[in-house]
Structure 1
Amino acid sequence: MLKFHGLLLGGSLLAGLAAPAVLAREPQAASSPAPAGDARARAEAVVARMTTDEKIALVHGLFPPMANGKTKNELIPSAGHIDGIPRLGVPLVRESDASLGVANQVEQRKGDVATALPSGLATAASFDPEIARAGGAMIGAEARAKRFNVLLAGGVNLTRDPWNGRNFEYLGEDPLLAGLLGGAHIAGVQSNRIVSTVKHFALNAQETGRMVVDARIDEKALRMSDLLAFQIAIEKGRPGSVMCAYNKVNGDWACENPRLLTDVLKRDWGYRGWVMSDWGAVHSTAKAANAGLDQQSGQELDKALFFAKPLKQAVENGEVPVARLDDMVIRYLTGLIETGAYDAPMPATAEAISYDQHAEVAQRAAEAGIVLLKNERNLLPLAASAKRIVVIGGNADVGVLSGGGSSQVRSVGGAPVEVPLAYGAASSFARITYHASSPLEALRKALPGVQVDYVDGRNFNATVEAAKAADLAIVFATQWTTEAQDVPDLRLPDHQDALIDAIATAQPKTVAVMETGGPVLMPWIEKVPAVVQAWYPGQRGGEAIANILTGKVNPSGRLPITFPASAGQPPRPNPVGLETMNSLEAQAAANPANAGNFQFQSFPVDYTEGADVGYRWYEKKALKPLFPFGHGLSYTSFAYRKPKVTGGRTLSVTVEVTNTGKRAGADVPQLYVVREGAKEPMRLAAFQRIELKPGETRRVTLTAEPRIVADYDTALPGWRIAGGRYRVAIGHDATDRKLTAVTTLAASTMKP
């Protein structure tokens, strides 16, 4: 079976696997992580008492679906398992996939459900670290109740290409936004005294050929983009572990890349925890260990048990120093100790979970992240005059779409729609899955006295007639995306664009609700007066969408990723290597007995945009997107007045923000900066989400992140702010330049 993904779950591997049902009693609240002061010294003292075999046992982990009989401890079907050392108090570690909740992709644990957060892009669209932290705390609490103490969460890879199949898991295209919200999410997870990773280190920016692609970029650009997102997330969240990626970076596999793992992460950033591999991402023993990899994860998915007997032999023959092995184990224990996981034993049996309370956390995140893209003639919120509404398509009668892959949550309420994949790189571990939260039912509940009908959209003529006969049409458009596969293009699949166009032609009052993994093209945009970007809205997505449409909740989401006006606007119009990979996969699928003999050769992707990711690319190339980064409308309006800019050693702007409308709402003033005279695009340097009552004014101070103002100087090495004049803009989005000012900054430098 081919392995193109982080979690290979072939159906034959899962036969008979089950886990106890979650009990119906309330878990105790977990305490905060222990202070980190002496964590490494404590870890060193424990390692000093270990035998070599005990050390080796801690630096490679089992993949439970393929590891029966390899441990005397209970194996919970999940992502990973590492036995502890009882005589030294080293705890057993159980790992779960977790980006959007405690994952259970193809129901390895029969009957075990969890709360599903909305997609990472939805959380990023809130521009609110508190929303991200609350989501992390919630899924961390559920993980502990289910007896997991490591969550493979914290994805902060920048969304460089709109067609990336895994964009929905991540936090957008800007390093400051992704880093701050990623760090908050990690801190929330770890408040439960369990470990969160930060992943995938680094430049895992496409899924096509992700096991072989060589991501190429110069160091300055890498430091100012993807690495900066990781650096900020690590500073803010202090994750116990960093997960290295599948791909190569500038010629070396990410999990045996000394520049990334040792020079940048451990030396420059002073990272104290451990580096774990992604599942199936290890390629060597001595090279990987000496480069800075500390633990081989999901060992059964690699070609060999590189960190088992081969590592012991490499230590004995001097290829890997004893000190390096000790450091690998010390870092593992340090990560556990610093987060509190070391001293907080897992419950003996699964504990109860307050699913209703946790669903509210997910719903608040969805409501904060849904973006009102367009609202001509104030069509929304839904007017009381609309007595007959038709809801069309998207399985909106039964639920909301979720993204596929290792982040898939088996949500409370079950999956009303679940479609296995017949082919493709994700077919062994992903299904097209919906959460049981019906927008149709939520709208009917929210609009008593209004006739709300549903048509599934499959009969073209009947659908158009239903739209024409109604007072208003709400069409749900869907685009399923998944880990391991990129979308072939940015169009809505299954001829949905033609259907939306026809509906809007027949019914001038049409609302399009987009449940997509990221940006899509909208050739019908001029005909549709109202467009709502709902992302994958999670456990209570139906209720969240209904609250936005009816005005119970005022939309406040802002785009964390640019929506292109055409496929030719992004740096790459489609996935690099897609045709080659599809051809090889087709050959393998046609000849399963010989599938293992198909060789997938490495190919390069040159990130020529460098640090100018997303909105910076559009400004640099003078391109007008369909919707810019930071864009989002409200049912009220906001004005910025009286900016006061302060320079010198630190750049900050104080500005009055006024709610000039008649509804309470939330706004996100954004600070962009660039050195005066530089031929570079402006960069997001600060932002703040603020809630205001009608007519209320509040002064907000935005202080620029110094590394955004600076450039990375490889000769220094480190960050350098050039002294001189800087232009700033306080805007509603990345293209808003109505309020600008200039200030002077002193020259300064910072460590890498």
Structure 2
Amino acid sequence: MTRRHQSTRRALRIHAAAAVLALAAFGLAQTAVAQTMPTPDSPPLAARVNDPVWDRADALVKQMTEAEKLLMVHGYFPPFADRTPGAPLDDMIPSAGYVTGVPRLGIPNLRESDASLGVANQVEQRKGDTATALPSGLALAATFDPQLAYRGGAMIGAEARAKTFNVLLAGGVNLTRDPWAGRNFEYLGEDPWLAALMAAEQIRGVQSNHIISTIKHFSLNPQETGRHIIDGVIDEAAHRESDLLAFQIAIERSHPASVMCAYNKVNGDWACENDHLLNQVLKRDWNYPGFVMSDWGAVHSTVKAANAGLDQQSGQELDRQIYFGDDLRAAIDAGEVKQARLDDMVRRILYGVIQTGLIDHPTPANEQPIDYEANADVAQTMAEAGIVLLKNDGGALPLLATARKIAVIGGRADYGVMSGGGSSQVRSVGGVQEYAFEVGESHGFVRMTWHKSSPLDAIRAAAPNAEVVYLDGKDRAAAARAAAEADVAIVFAWHWQTEAEDSETIDLPDNQDDLINAVSASGKKTVVVLETGGPVLMPWLNQVNAVVQAWYSGQRGGPAIANVLFGKVNPSGRLPMTFPARIDQAPRPEVPGIQLQKAVEAARFDQRQPPAFDSWEQPYVEGAAVGYRWYDQQGHRPLFPFGYGLSYTDFRYSNLRVEDGDRLTVSFDVTNTGRRAGADAPQVYLRAGQARPTLRLIGFEKVELQPGQTRRVTVTAEPRIIADYDAANPGWRIAAGSYPLYVGRHVGDEALKGSAHLNAWTRQP
């Protein structure tokens, strides 16, 4: 058994036991809400006075019985709902969640589906039900195109509605702080501005279908190993300037009906009973009117969670008990939770139901037809726009359709393209191939999966006159011989990542580095196509001619990759994460807690008593200097910087103009100086910060240009991206002064240099 397969088996075991094992170890202290805060049962900042949505929600709450209210604040996990007496099993769709509505008042039942990359059906709970599988979140972020994010969200939302779902657990905006993190592929990169814009447009697209989208996982949820026990430690200013800023901007721009709180602790309190995060930041400072739902298995208490701002317990069968049912009623009777707080919980849920238009445009009772072909076109467009050309020595790409012999090697390219694992897994139209392993109690939640979209078939279609041979790469000598006999060798390499487990290494598994070295040593043109969930190390980089970062490319990944290889599509993707040259360049070279997790797992599955443990503190030493900001501060030269990506044409920037003072606007010309039409993503960076200056992306724009065409690009900076957060005197501050900036193709590319002279600026939280 390979090391990767052993790791896969661990991931499956961890998921099956996670909710029971990790949660069972915790003591749940009951603490009071700080007296300095507004009471959690009152409307936020009295801002609802002139809000007709709030008025409608309030009117419905006044007509509801206590029993009806209590039904709305806890939801079922349909696969296990038969364990719960009285569960409305006949009305449930096998899926992520179900919340009982109030039919007599027109309040719909909420049918919830996982939805990061499409309408999920991970282990085929719904036999035969397929959906369109989008590329991974990082692939979407790599497009640097918010319009594509909207299209993808609108497509997922339309499919969900047609399948009678009305809540999508979408909108992942956690910043990717570590290259090895298992869920990086679902998220939108390391920069708060890029992540916020892309998440906001995806959420707006989902909710354009009159259904609810979440934004998740609130907050500081950057790793999977030990996610049920880790206590993320970060100072408030750093948190506000990084992950929280991404959430804040995305919420302001998209108005998601729900915020999903995370598994982990933040500065000592579980995220789903964290008064600072939920009551103070989200509901008071940001004036958020919607509801907070828990992640599945993330609730630890009744009184503390309710008073700290949690509005709905999700997937209750995965928690130790139903905290927001009879226990909540008892807490209200005892005066530990006010009746007004229960009303506020329900009012917020109804606010989301009304705001999105769901109550006025309920989802159909029966499934509706779906144009899967049109939706697949959206997935393919996104995949093509997100592919990043990392290396192209000597114009190795695009390949000529007249090539005589092509060797395609490895990566299961004969079958399809890799998918990330976990709750985002879509059973795509066209089929999937799965690799699950016998792992005791596992329910198969995590499976290594390929979408049936063969790059090999697409390459043969693109080069009909060529002899295209395929080898699986297991025999390196045979692969090298095939490469030597061909005009070009295309090696498909993979690195699988999944929810529930972080990667122990960012090396390519299963000796793929040796395979690439053997093929490149043949002396023939070698192209490497990477299907990965994030950064990987490339010790063979100097030996190959071209490298294409294809990510997890979704159900039309095969044709998308071939179109880029043969030049039908000019690559325009840009890296949304820094690729380190060495793992020790990252803030955390090893997954925190991985040895503890292994010990707990071994004890559990050897039928021994797991060692006693509680959460451990994990300081985020980089603070707000996430990703490229960390590399810049430390003076590290990465393998490939944030924002990097090549094209089959060339672009020139000129005529920089900076308008500053009270507001910062940067404009410049972009010219396609090459012979091909192509898209560019020019980026504007500024160095700011009083305590420790950091480099910050303040704007970008995706620009499509014909050869010789010039377009003026104008970027207006969001002040909070430039500002420091002052926790002592709460609010945002920009100090008057001069700030260096540049326009470039990526971090460190100072194609146009300038400075901004800004006036002092302040804003409340």
Deviation string, structure 1 residues 78-116 (Cα, Å, up to 9, x no partner): 000011111111111100001000000011111000000
Q: 1:598 and 1:103, CA in 2 relative to 1: closer, same or farther beyond 3 A?
A: farther
Match of 2:117 in 1: 100
Query: Does 1:429 pair with 2:445?
Result: yes
Shift, 1:8, TM fit: 7.6
CA contact (8 A) 1:675 1:725 kept: no
Tell me how far apart the structure 2 counterparts of residues 565 and 574 of structure 1 sit (CA, whole Å). Answer: 15
Match of 1:17 in 2: none
Match of 1:652 in 2: 665
Match of 1:682 in 2: 695
Tell me how far apart the structure 1 counterparts of residues 553 and 401 of structure 2 sit (CA, whole Å). Answer: 25
CA contact (8 A) 2:476 2:515 kept: yes
Gap regions ≥5 residues in structure 2: 1-11, 22-49
Tell me how far apart the structure 2 counterparts of residues 432 and 291 of structure 1 sit (CA, whole Å). Answer: 38
Code of the residue aligned with 2:165 in structure 1: it is F
Code of the residue aligned with 1:237 in structure 2: it is S
Match of 1:673 in 2: 686
Query: Does 1:58 pair with 2:72?
Result: yes
Match of 1:572 in 2: 588
Shift, 1:504, TM fit: 0.8
Counterparts of 1:156-195 in structure 2, within 5 Å, are 156-195=173-212
Deviation string, structure 1 residues 237-291 (Cα, Å, up to 9, x no partner): 1100000000000000000000000100010111010000000000000000000
Gap regions ≥5 residues in structure 1: 11-35
Q: 1:96 and 1:75, CA in 2 relative to 1: closer, same or farther beyond 3 A?
A: same
Query: Does 1:139 pair with 2:156?
Result: yes
Code of the residue aligned with 1:699 in structure 2: it is R
Match of 2:9 in 1: none
Q: 1:2 and 1:276, CA in 2 relative to 1: closer, same or farther beyond 3 A?
A: farther
Secondary structure of the corresponding residue to residue 682 of structure 1: strand
Match of 1:396 in 2: 413
Tell me how far apart the structure 2 counterparts of residues 355 and 2 of structure 1 sit (CA, whole Å). Answer: 35
Question: Which stretch of the first structure deviates more once superposed, 116-125 or 699-708?
Answer: 699-708
Shift, 1:743, TM fit: 2.3
Shift, 1:201, TM fit: 0.2
Q: 1:533 and 1:316, CA in 2 relative to 1: closer, same or farther beyond 3 A?
A: same
Picking from 240, 257, 276, the partner of 1:240 is 257
Counterparts of 1:657-736 in structure 2, within 5 Å, are 657-675=670-688, 679-736=692-749
Code of the residue aligned with 1:56 in structure 2: it is L
Tell me how far apart the structure 1 counterparts of residues 515 and 479 of structure 2 sit (CA, whole Å). Answer: 9
Shift, 1:340, TM fit: 1.1
Tell me how far apart the structure 1 counterparts of residues 350 and 330 of structure 2 sit (CA, whole Å). Answer: 23
Secondary structure of the corresponding residue to residue 559 of structure 2: helix
Tell me how far apart the structure 2 counterparts of residues 703 and 48 of structure 1 sit (CA, whole Å). Answer: 45
Deviation string, structure 1 residues 568-608 (Cα, Å, up to 9, x no partner): 100000210101101211221222xx67x664421121100
Tell me how far apart the structure 1 counterparts of residues 13 and 571 of structure 2 sit (CA, whole Å). Answer: 43
Secondary structure of the corresponding residue to residue 412 of structure 1: coil
Query: Does 1:739 pair with 2:752?
Result: yes
CA contact (8 A) 1:8 1:428 kept: no
Secondary structure of the corresponding residue to residue 55 of structure 2: helix
Deviation string, structure 1 residues 601-650 (Cα, Å, up to 9, x no partner): 21121100000000000110010000000000000010100100111111
Code of the residue aligned with 1:546 in structure 2: it is A
Match of 1:546 in 2: 562
Secondary structure of the corresponding residue to residue 478 of structure 2: helix
Counterparts of 1:295-444 in structure 2, within 5 Å, are 295-384=312-401, 386-415=403-432, 417-423=433-439, 428-444=444-460
Shift, 1:441, TM fit: 0.4
Code of the residue aligned with 1:67 in structure 2: it is A
Shift, 1:677, TM fit: 8.6
Deviation string, structure 1 residues 539-590 (Cα, Å, up to 9, x no partner): 1000100000000000000000000000110000021010110121122122
Instruction: Kindly tell me the number of residue pairs found equivalent between the two proteins.
Output: 723
Match of 1:153 in 2: 170
Query: Does 1:557 pair with 2:573?
Result: yes
CA contact (8 A) 2:688 2:694 kept: no
Tell me how far apart the structure 2 counterparts of residues 87 and 549 of structure 1 sit (CA, whole Å). Answer: 58
Secondary structure of the corresponding residue to residue 526 of structure 1: helix
Match of 1:124 in 2: 141
Shift, 1:421, TM fit: 3.4
Tell me how far apart the structure 2 counterparts of residues 723 and 64 of structure 1 sit (CA, whole Å). Answer: 56
Q: 1:735 and 1:75, CA in 2 relative to 1: closer, same or farther beyond 3 A?
A: same
Question: Which stretch of the first structure deviates more once superposed, 78-87 or 293-302?
Answer: 78-87
Query: Does 1:224 pair with 2:241?
Result: yes
Q: 1:159 and 1:5, CA in 2 relative to 1: closer, same or farther beyond 3 A?
A: farther
Deviation string, structure 1 residues 106-148 (Cα, Å, up to 9, x no partner): 1111100000000000000000100101000000000001110
Shift, 1:679, TM fit: 4.5
Picking from 455, 471, 475, the partner of 2:491 is 475
Tell me how far apart the structure 2 counterparts of residues 209 and 7 of structure 1 sit (CA, whole Å). Answer: 9
Deviation string, structure 1 residues 406-445 (Cα, Å, up to 9, x no partner): 0000000111x21003449987411111111000101111
Shift, 1:74, TM fit: 1.5
Q: 1:6 and 1:528, CA in 2 relative to 1: closer, same or farther beyond 3 A?
A: farther
CA contact (8 A) 1:6 1:279 kept: no
Code of the residue aligned with 1:494 in structure 2: it is D
CA contact (8 A) 2:434 2:450 kept: yes
Secondary structure of the corresponding residue to residue 358 of structure 1: helix
CA contact (8 A) 1:4 1:425 kept: no
Tell me how far apart the structure 1 counterparts of residues 406 and 642 of structure 2 sit (CA, whole Å). Answer: 32
Deviation string, structure 1 residues 40-95 (Cα, Å, up to 9, x no partner): 11011100111111111100000001113611641110000011111111111100
Q: 1:347 and 1:675, CA in 2 relative to 1: closer, same or farther beyond 3 A?
A: closer
Secondary structure of the corresponding residue to residue 582 of structure 2: coil
Secondary structure of the corresponding residue to residue 362 of structure 1: helix
Q: 1:426 and 1:140, CA in 2 relative to 1: closer, same or farther beyond 3 A?
A: farther
CA contact (8 A) 1:5 1:211 kept: no
Picking from 501, 521, 528, the partner of 1:512 is 528
Tell me how far apart the structure 2 counterparts of residues 680 and 620 of structure 1 sit (CA, whole Å). Answer: 9
Tell me how far apart the structure 2 counterparts of residues 465 and 615 of structure 1 sit (CA, whole Å). Answer: 40
Match of 2:515 in 1: 499
Match of 1:20 in 2: none
Secondary structure of the corresponding residue to residue 463 of structure 1: helix
Code of the residue aligned with 2:758 in structure 1: it is L
Tell me how far apart the structure 2 counterparts of residues 404 and 342 of structure 1 sit (CA, whole Å). Answer: 34
Picking from 628, 642, 650, the partner of 2:655 is 642
Code of the residue aligned with 1:553 in structure 2: it is V
Q: Structure 1-normalised TM-score?
A: 0.94
Q: 1:428 and 1:589, CA in 2 relative to 1: closer, same or farther beyond 3 A?
A: farther
Q: 1:739 and 1:677, CA in 2 relative to 1: closer, same or farther beyond 3 A?
A: farther
Tell me how far apart the structure 2 counterparts of residues 650 and 421 of structure 1 sit (CA, whole Å). Answer: 57
Code of the residue aligned with 2:384 in structure 1: it is E
Q: Structure 2-normalised TM-score?
A: 0.92
Match of 2:63 in 1: 49
Picking from 614, 625, 628, the partner of 1:612 is 625
Question: Which stretch of the first structure deviates more once superposed, 118-127 or 418-427?
Answer: 418-427
CA contact (8 A) 1:425 1:485 kept: no
Match of 2:295 in 1: 278
Shift, 1:678, TM fit: 7.2
Match of 1:487 in 2: 503
Secondary structure of the corresponding residue to residue 67 of structure 1: helix
Secondary structure of the corresponding residue to residue 252 of structure 2: helix
Question: Which stretch of the first structure deviates more once superposed, 376-385 or 74-83?
Answer: 376-385
Code of the residue aligned with 2:267 in structure 1: it is N
Tell me how far apart the structure 2 counterparts of residues 203 and 424 of structure 1 sit (CA, whole Å). Answer: 32
Structure 1 runs (4+) greater than 6 angstroms displaced: 5-10, 424-427
Match of 1:536 in 2: 552
Tell me how far apart the structure 2 counterparts of residues 678 and 303 of structure 1 sit (CA, whole Å). Answer: 44
Shift, 1:183, TM fit: 0.4
Match of 2:32 in 1: none
Identity %: 60
Shift, 1:719, TM fit: 0.7
